[in-house]
A and B are shown apart, each in its own frame.
Chain A
């Protein structure tokens, strides 16, 4: 900035100087002309007053006034001469110069001296009277000006008057003023510059530095700190500070907002998690081996909670109800309605209604207050193991498959989805089921599952999987379709709730076993054939084996009587119940269990098996009834 100021100042000085110099020269010429004219007038006027001849008195007059002019006016030289044009010479009449004292003479130029000099064109014109002045400029940058004019006195004498004015005379004077002005100007500019500097420093540099530092502080260390800019002035920096403060306030608010939202989301997530667990808790366990059937089911919501449901329960010794339903929509709203529908169906089923009556009454209840026009598709069936008949009714739901050798769709019956038309009638239909037949119920989330290419899973793929699985021993339809869906969808997000329920009509056989430990293989196969998880089967096998071997070994002293059998049965829904019944001697296996802490493996025998059985099981109950030992081993599935 200082350099810029210096340059500007220098430029200003230079321009001023040259402008001044030009003006001085013009002034000088005027001045010289005036001076020579005055000189001439004075000389001629005085000369004309004299009574003497020109050759002496005119020279004196010229010399006198020349001195006068040189002394009192800014004139360097003042001289008069008479030219001899023919010979190219001049004869000086008078020579005066500035420093000359009165009466002093210059040895080089004296009045009366003759010098060779050829008049210039201009001077010739003046001499001839063709023009008033001749002007010649001389010296360094025309530092001097010579002006000549011709004068005549009354006596007929003619002389050239010549004046030399040097620029220095003028310049000195004018420069003096100029320099004072320049110094004043410089001082003024310097003060102005200093003032400007201080002003800019105070109002620009310092605030800018502060802002920069504070802005740096604001995001230092990767976290935002409480930074506020202070600026009392009313300028652009105050505006910047204000904007910055506004910005930090906004950012703080946003961040606060974001963390609030994050907390809110976290809360919603955990609520959704709880809701999901509550919803899954509403559903019956996803597998069960009941007295007349085996059930395997799954409900996978697209969101944390869904609008699908499945349900099953034993109405009495021979009848079991199964349900699959799909509430329109997804998420919380659907989940609430799902819970209502689940409860209604259970209640109507428990008071003894058949499938169509259940649907009719649920429909009526839902239709009464259904301002949101949500609806539910549902399929309800009741299997009676005594007659082998499946009675069912449908409310706009996907018709399930009956699987004997391969999947066959059940015949349509029933009516529209629940909740739409209060006066809708639903009908029952019936189908025969052989022992080992399955019914596969599902919601449209299965067939409308989408893969990466936008294709639907569809009924063809479903039927193919069901057909393939019907050929296997275990008939794990739900697992097979789940696996097929998984490989079909790949990474594609599930967009609808998926629910399936496979119902296997099979009376759980009560095994009639001989008092022979080799018969354990039948128990083992029965357990392996259940829907239970592998590790649980292992535990149950150990418990069952220990109890069974114990009975075989101690029931009778000799061989068992003819026809006497050990009865084994297995049932489970939310707990597994294994029951042994034997006609041997009364023996409570809970008595005299060994203590493992004092158990010496080198000496002790027996009791270990019972110990293992009791450890594996959750409860072991024993009773002696009608001459038979009844041993019940229970293991809870849900802990």
Chain B
């Protein structure tokens, strides 16, 4: 899986591409784990077309990481298919999830 990382003014943005499934999701987890300092963590899902609970778990993990770093957290540019997964688990009410 191709995941790009961008740091700007303390905001760290990860932009994964394609399928966030059981096989590919841990990659995102490893990259997020490596962050040591940030005022804000952002997951840009612009190019994510599929997400299973494995991907969802990484989103929650990133949220926990942001909490630990005392940084803000948001998932942006979420497509309808992926949004439905957030909605059916009610995660969209607990985290800052923004639709495309």
Task: Write the residues of chain A forming the contact surface with B, with a CB cutoff of 8 angstroms.
Answer: 517-518, 520-521, 524, 535, 538, 541-542, 545-546, 549, 596-597, 599, 601-602, 608-609, 611-612, 615-616
Q: Decide yes or no whether B39 CB sits under 8 A from chain A.
A: no
Contact B89 A611 (CB under 8 A): yes
Chain A residues with Cβ below 8 Å from B1 are none
User: Which of A521, A608, A615, A616 contacts B56 (CB under 8 A)?
Assistant: A608
Question: In the docked arrangement, what's the CA distance between A599 and B64, Å?
Answer: 15
Contact B23 A518 (CB under 8 A): yes
Distance in Å from the Cβ of B68 to the closest Cβ of chain A? 11
Question: In the docked arrangement, what's the CA distance between A178 and B96, Å?
Answer: 116
Given contacts A520-B21, A520-B22, A521-B23, contact A541 B50 (CB under 8 A): yes
Given contacts A520-B23, A546-B52, A608-B57, 17 further A-B contacts (CB under 8 A): A520-B22, A521-B23, A541-B50, A542-B51, A542-B52, A545-B22, A549-B52, A549-B54, A599-B90, A601-B60, A601-B63, A601-B95, A602-B64, A602-B67, A608-B89, A612-B53, A612-B56
Contact A538 B81 (CB under 8 A): yes
Distance in Å from the Cβ of B19 to the closest Cβ of chain A? 8
What string of 1s and 0s marks CB contacts (under 8 Å) between B43-84 and chain A? 000000111111011001001100100000000000001000
What string of 1s and 0s marks CB contacts (under 8 Å) between B1-36 and chain A? 000000000000000000101110000000000000
Given contacts A518-B23, A538-B50, A601-B94, contact A612 B85 (CB under 8 A): yes
Contact A517 B53 (CB under 8 A): no
Chain A residues with Cβ below 8 Å from B21 are 520, 524, 541, 545
Question: In the docked arrangement, what's the CA distance between A541 and B52, Å?
Answer: 8
Given contacts A538-B81, A596-B90, A599-B90, contact A608 B23 (CB under 8 A): no
Distance in Å from the Cβ of A238 to the closest Cβ of chain B? 73
Contact A597 B90 (CB under 8 A): yes
Distance in Å from the Cβ of B58 to the closest Cβ of chain A? 12
Q: Which residue of A lies closest to B49 (CB)?
A: A538
Task: Write the residues of chain B forming the contact surface with A, with a CB cutoff of 8 angstroms.
Answer: 19, 21-23, 49-54, 56-57, 60, 63-64, 67, 81, 85, 88-91, 94-95
Question: In the docked arrangement, what's the CA distance between A599 and B91, Å?
Answer: 9
Chain A residues with Cβ below 8 Å from B22 are 517, 520, 545, 549
Chain B residues with Cβ below 8 Å from A611 are 53, 88-89
Question: In the docked arrangement, what's the CA distance between A535 and B79, Å?
Answer: 12
Chain A residues with Cβ below 8 Å from B54 are 545, 549, 609
Chain B residues with Cβ below 8 Å from A545 are 21-22, 52-54
Question: In the docked arrangement, what's the CA distance between A102 and B49, Å?
Answer: 148
Distance in Å from the Cβ of A244 to the closest Cβ of chain B? 63
Task: Identify the interface centre among A549, A596, A601: most chain B CB within 10 Å of its CB.
Answer: A601
Distance in Å from the Cβ of A90 to the closest Cβ of chain B? 140
Question: In the docked arrangement, what's the CA distance between A538 and B60, Å?
Answer: 21
Q: Which residue of A lies closest to B56 (CB)?
A: A608
Can you offer 8 A-B residue contacts whose CB atoms are under 8 A? A524-B19, A538-B50, A545-B22, A545-B52, A545-B54, A601-B91, A609-B52, A612-B89
Distance in Å from the Cβ of B12 to the closest Cβ of chain A? 20
Question: In the docked arrangement, what's the CA distance between A541 and B24, Å?
Answer: 14
Distance in Å from the Cβ of A567 to the closest Cβ of chain B? 19
Chain B residues with Cβ below 8 Å from A608 are 53, 56-57, 89
Distance in Å from the Cβ of B4 to the closest Cβ of chain A? 23
Q: Name the 9 nearest CB pairs between A and B, nearest first.
A: A609-B53, A596-B90, A615-B88, A517-B22, A545-B52, A608-B53, A538-B81, A549-B22, A601-B60
Question: In the docked arrangement, what's the CA distance between A521 and B22, Å?
Answer: 10
Question: In the docked arrangement, what's the CA distance between A535 and B56, Å?
Answer: 19
Chain B residues with Cβ below 8 Å from A542 are 50-52, 85
Distance in Å from the Cβ of A603 to the closest Cβ of chain B? 10
Chain B residues with Cβ below 8 Å from A609 are 52-54
Question: In the docked arrangement, what's the CA distance between A338 and B78, Å?
Answer: 47
Chain A residues with Cβ below 8 Å from B60 are 601
Given contacts A599-B90, A612-B89, A615-B88, contact A546 B23 (CB under 8 A): no
Question: In the docked arrangement, what's the CA distance between A601 and B57, Å?
Answer: 9
